[in-house]
Chain A
Amino acid sequence: MKRMGKSLARVALLGVCAAGAACTTLAPASRPVPTPAPRPAPPPAEDTRPSPAPLPPPSGAGSRPAPEPPRDVPAPRPQSDASGASGVLLEQSRAQRAAGSLPAARASLERALRLDPNNAALWLELGELELQTGNMSQAATMARKAMTLAGRDLRLSSRAERLLRAAE
């Protein structure tokens, strides 16, 4: 019925383009065909470029902590066995961030967090990304979230505190 309606509408148009020429200028065949071509792959997971110093400078202090390899994520966690995969995604996220692709970096981090949600280092990284994009309140919340997960890991808690100070 709907189609017949469309056709009837065209009958009305017919008078307008009865001269013939105008009728042929209808849109060229533009069928909506999604391209199946593969898109460029993200940087390979093995990319082990050093982290681009993701930390905000600690206020007051001049020293900046060395970037840490992902294997260093806190050991005393119940699911440390997943840190292999989440560690690789963390690296991938850092590489994407270094390449200036923040949305992709964020997506990789969220993917890592789905595998390893109790990993304070991942929440910190996400908070630092939020800080970089100017989303202060999210950065602060991520820092607080990381603090609740850092447990007795002093390195992670002090990194969380720096993030919190930078965001507030």
Chain B
Amino acid sequence: MLAIAYGGYLAWTATSEFEGRRWDIPAQVYAAPLELYVGRALSAELLVGELRRLGYREDPRLVGPGTYRVGLGRIELATRGFSFAGDSEPEQLVSIAFVGGRIAALRDSAGRPTPIVRLNPLLIGSLFPSHGEDRIIVAPDEIPPLLSETLKAVEDRRFDSHFGVDPIAVARAIFVNVSAGEIREGASTLTQQLVRSYFLTNEVAWGRKLREAFMAVALELRYSKSELLHAYVNEIYLGQDGGRAIHGFGLASQFYFGKPLGELELHELALLVAIVRGPTYYEPRRHADRALERRNFVLQRMADEGLASNDEVQKAAEQRLGLADDSRRSTTHSAFLTLVRRQLSADYAREDLERTGLVVLTTLDPAVQAAAERALSEGIEALGKEDVELEGAVVVTSPHTGEVKAIVGGRNARYEGFNRALDARRQIGSLIKPAVYLTALESGRYSLASVIDDAPIVVELDRRNTWTPSNFDDQAHGLVPLVRALAESYNLATVRLGLDVGLEQIAATLQRLGLEQKPTLYPSMLLGALALTPIEVAQVYNTLANGGFRVPLRAVRSVVGEDGELLQRYELEIEQAADPGAVYALNQALVQVMERGTGRTVRRLLPADIVVAGKTGTSDDLRDSWFAGFTNENLIVAWLGADDNRPIGLTGSTGAARIWARVLSAIEANSYAAPAPDGVDETWIDYVTGAPTAARCPDAVAVPVPETDYYPRAFGCQGQTGIGARIRSWFGGDDQ
């Protein structure tokens, strides 16, 4: 009686688990799709790198989506289509011609020019629970018949006819294993394996075996073979990635080969079936020999059962394992995924992200991400600072849209640890100065041509304390134009200017530019006694790079629900944060930083014909090395420092600027350029003294000035005012 009740309970448990079970499906996160169009800066090598990341296969016949072939100066590919909430891209054959690192022509299969083509977005990871299952669900019609047949051939030959357990297999397994002297075959049917995966642990015990067999029979009585097989394909455990358990063939295909299940070749499919038997024992990255041997055993079984010809099997057995690089590992994009989680946490509960099968479309540019990671680790290596544990971070954004293209949280990007790009709050040093100068320019009382005094100053803090700032070179430079004071990052001039325009106003400027916290109003704030994270710096500089328009930095474009409906779009929203004329002038000064100022050494590492804007930052005692700079298409912020905050012996220009230049040269060759807004004029001044001068003179620099201001024109080099200013500057340094 008790046995019957218990049996009924088991049967009920098994069937209700099967019926009611909704897999916890972590949100799948995709990078931005790569857009291909004529004129885009993209070399054939970079495209091939991108295609490899996407699991494209080189195939001279271009058979099927996800293949490409390389010709002379051109690449032809058969793209995969995709569709997310109504935004779709068809599969197509395209031919891409390259000239000088750009796409020169884009044609369809009939040779007609085609304006724009998108590659399918790279799956960069999922928002799985800290220790939990991850899977990609595969629909019944997406399961390759060869997979089903091979699973049966290898794991359960009488699957189609047995009733959940297979007594013949049990007898056979005992025979085979005894004669082989090792476990070659198990006797568990696919149904039993499914039950085990649902409910039971892997301990070998007769009680468990019996319960498992009983539940398997119960499932068989209620469900069709194809329903059971479908469940099996999505349920079964196929590998481990840190705390993330890889379940189901859909995810396993992406995890091991970087492509969808339907595109697997014979040897790849055989490897996945081989792994079923023991995902740890046959882990192909760690135990390649075992995995290869077992894979070839599976291939042989396929030949024996007539699932593939001897010829095909022969060829497949000669293939290497063919594993994709590790870009599918959860740690690969962990720094970016952290930002994705943070952005989504404002709108979604953790439970929803980890369980309900959402699709998250992000702004990540995988090529930029890879380039930034390489630039940071190789750049730190090249600095040769062996005496300190040098760490770093990089943030890359698209200034006009605020989209975050890449986040590097440390020199070892694969290590899932402290994310310095988001969480290292460090003194920014001179990176604050553009806010001081912008406040001055916006006040209307200063232009870049205005002359200020870079002379020693003692600032009274309260009755007993004073602050005596100094320049980096311990010199005073006398009367200098604003443009030079900023380009050379003069501290004394900046303190004088800042005290004149007001700390309160400067703090307000920083907040307008996108800083969320309100800085403490100490005079030392003027020289960057303010601790920010690299992403906060990126937000502030993004507003400058965007001409004074603030766009909240975004990592997510949209979220699609389980059923394919659009749940949310994070739309482009902009706010005007500063006067466009003042920002335009400020950015021209930031260009001079690179041409003549503290950025000039690093500027020489870049192609001579491009224009870039940027600013160095160094904190007290050389503890932090910063650089923030931009072109029209990329804003890059780089930071170097030690986790324990000890001095690293690098300034902004000897440290972070080099990382910055490495990132920039790896990802683009475009310039910073902006049209002068209305109301802005241009005048030529002497860079050293600020005196009006003719354009042809040595040291002449064109600076934007308000149209309404009067600036005398000079026809010779260093006019009257110039000489006067220069003489004054000789004496200016001796003040006090």
Interface residues of A (CB under 8 A from B): 3-4, 6-7, 10-11, 14, 23, 26-36, 38-42, 45, 78-79, 81-82, 84-85, 87-89, 103-104, 106-107, 110-111, 113-115, 117-118, 126, 138, 141-142, 144-145, 147-152, 157
* CB nearest to B356 among chain A residues: A32
User: How extensive is the interface on chain B, given as a class?
Assistant: 35 or more
Binds A, one of B16-24, B314-322, B336-344: B16-24
Contact B564 A88 (CB under 8 A): no
> What 4 new A-B contacts, CB under 8 Å, besides A84-B39, A117-B401?
A114-B398, A115-B37, A117-B632, A118-B674
**B544-568 CB contacts (< 8 Å) to partner A:** 547-549, 562-564, 566
**B647-702 CB contacts (< 8 Å) to partner A:** 670-671, 673-678
**B616-637 CB contacts (< 8 Å) to partner A:** 632-633
Number of A-B contacts (CB under 8 A): 163
Contact A141 B86 (CB under 8 A): no
Contact A114 B25 (CB under 8 A): no
For residue B198, which residues in chain A have a CB less than 8 angstroms away from its CB? 3
Most buried by A among B40, B87, B673: B87
Contact A14 B547 (CB under 8 A): no
Contact B547 A7 (CB under 8 A): no
Q: A23-B12, A41-B88, A148-B547 are in contact. Are A141 and B572 (CB under 8 A)?
A: no
For residue A14, which residues in chain B have a CB less than 8 angstroms away from its CB? 9, 12
Contact A118 B580 (CB under 8 A): no
B536 touches A (CB below 8 Å): no
Candidates B17, B116, B571; contact of A45 at CB < 8 Å: B116
B462 CB, min distance to chain A CBs, angstroms: 43
Contact A30 B22 (CB under 8 A): yes
For residue B357, which residues in chain A have a CB less than 8 angstroms away from its CB? 32, 34
B227 touches A (CB below 8 Å): yes
Q: A27-B19, A144-B580 are in contact. Are A42 and B139 (CB under 8 A)?
A: no
Contact B678 A110 (CB under 8 A): no
B575 touches A (CB below 8 Å): yes
CA distance A115 to B19 in the complex (A): 48
For residue A23, which residues in chain B have a CB less than 8 angstroms away from its CB? 12, 16
CA distance A147 to B142 in the complex (A): 51
For residue B199, which residues in chain A have a CB less than 8 angstroms away from its CB? 3-4, 7
Complex A-B: 30 CB contacts under 8 Å: A4-B199, A7-B17, A10-B12, A14-B9, A14-B12, A29-B227, A31-B234, A32-B22, A32-B25, A33-B140, A34-B139, A34-B562, A34-B563, A34-B564, A35-B139, A36-B141, A39-B88, A78-B670, A79-B39, A88-B115, A103-B566, A107-B569, A111-B35, A115-B37, A117-B399, A118-B400, A118-B673, A147-B580, A148-B548, A148-B580
For residue A84, which residues in chain B have a CB less than 8 angstroms away from its CB? 37-39, 115
For residue B19, which residues in chain A have a CB less than 8 angstroms away from its CB? 26-29
A-B pairs, top 6 by smallest CB distance, nearest first, are A117-B400, A85-B37, A81-B39, A151-B675, A88-B115, A85-B116
Contact A144 B87 (CB under 8 A): no
CA distance A37 to B227 in the complex (A): 20
B137 touches A (CB below 8 Å): yes
**B192-225 CB contacts (< 8 Å) to partner A:** 198-199
Contact B115 A78 (CB under 8 A): no
B83 touches A (CB below 8 Å): yes
Candidates A107, A150, A157; contact of B87 at CB < 8 Å: A107
CA distance A45 to B116 in the complex (A): 9
For residue B584, which residues in chain A have a CB less than 8 angstroms away from its CB? 148
Contact A113 B572 (CB under 8 A): yes
CA distance A116 to B227 in the complex (A): 49
Contact A126 B675 (CB under 8 A): no
**B78-98 CB contacts (< 8 Å) to partner A:** 81, 83, 85-88, 90
For residue A78, which residues in chain B have a CB less than 8 angstroms away from its CB? 632, 670-671, 673
For residue B22, which residues in chain A have a CB less than 8 angstroms away from its CB? 30-32
CA distance A152 to B23 in the complex (A): 59
Contact B20 A79 (CB under 8 A): no
CA distance A28 to B20 in the complex (A): 7
CA distance A38 to B80 in the complex (A): 12
B55 CB, min distance to chain A CBs, angstroms: 17
* CB nearest to A106 among chain B residues: B571
* CB nearest to B38 among chain A residues: A84
Contact A32 B562 (CB under 8 A): yes
Contact B137 A33 (CB under 8 A): yes
* CB nearest to A27 among chain B residues: B20
CA distance A147 to B678 in the complex (A): 8
Q: A84-B37, A115-B37 are in contact. Are A38 and B12 (CB under 8 A)?
A: no
For residue A138, which residues in chain B have a CB less than 8 angstroms away from its CB? 573-574
B155 touches A (CB below 8 Å): no
Contact A82 B88 (CB under 8 A): no
B377 touches A (CB below 8 Å): no
B520 touches A (CB below 8 Å): no
CA distance A142 to B575 in the complex (A): 9
Contact B549 A103 (CB under 8 A): no
Q: A79-B39, A82-B40, A84-B115 are in contact. Are A110 and B87 (CB under 8 A)?
A: no
CA distance A33 to B563 in the complex (A): 8
B39 CB, min distance to chain A CBs, angstroms: 3
* CB nearest to A109 among chain B residues: B572
CA distance A36 to B271 in the complex (A): 25
* CB nearest to B86 among chain A residues: A39
Contact A26 B16 (CB under 8 A): yes
Q: A14-B12, A104-B86, A138-B573 are in contact. Are A32 and B670 (CB under 8 A)?
A: no
B450 touches A (CB below 8 Å): no
* CB nearest to A153 among chain B residues: B675
CA distance A35 to B136 in the complex (A): 12
CA distance A138 to B571 in the complex (A): 11
Q: A34-B137, A141-B549 are in contact. Are A26 and B20 (CB under 8 A)?
A: yes
For residue B16, which residues in chain A have a CB less than 8 angstroms away from its CB? 10, 23, 26
B443 touches A (CB below 8 Å): no
Q: A114-B403, A117-B401 are in contact. Are A145 and B38 (CB under 8 A)?
A: no
Contact A149 B675 (CB under 8 A): yes
B576 CB, min distance to chain A CBs, angstroms: 6
Candidates B13, B138, B675; contact of A7 at CB < 8 Å: B13
* CB nearest to B678 among chain A residues: A147
CA distance A36 to B85 in the complex (A): 12
For residue A6, which residues in chain B have a CB less than 8 angstroms away from its CB? 17
**B695-718 CB contacts (< 8 Å) to partner A:** none
* CB nearest to B14 among chain A residues: A7
Most buried by B among A34, A78, A79: A34
Contact A142 B115 (CB under 8 A): no
* CB nearest to B571 among chain A residues: A106
Contact A113 B401 (CB under 8 A): yes
For residue B81, which residues in chain A have a CB less than 8 angstroms away from its CB? 38
Contact B673 A42 (CB under 8 A): no
CA distance A93 to B90 in the complex (A): 18
CA distance A141 to B549 in the complex (A): 9
* CB nearest to B35 among chain A residues: A115
CA distance A103 to B572 in the complex (A): 12
Contact A110 B401 (CB under 8 A): yes
For residue B549, which residues in chain A have a CB less than 8 angstroms away from its CB? 141, 144-145
Candidates B9, B571, B670; contact of A110 at CB < 8 Å: B571
CA distance A150 to B25 in the complex (A): 48
**B1-46 CB contacts (< 8 Å) to partner A:** 9, 12-13, 16-23, 25, 35, 37-40
Q: A79-B632, A85-B116 are in contact. Are A35 and B137 (CB under 8 A)?
A: no
Contact A10 B88 (CB under 8 A): no
CA distance A117 to B39 in the complex (A): 14
Candidates B23, B231, B234, B400; contact of A113 at CB < 8 Å: B400
For residue A148, which residues in chain B have a CB less than 8 angstroms away from its CB? 547-548, 580, 584, 674-675, 677
For residue B21, which residues in chain A have a CB less than 8 angstroms away from its CB? 31
CA distance A38 to B85 in the complex (A): 10
CA distance A41 to B92 in the complex (A): 14
CA distance A108 to B466 in the complex (A): 57
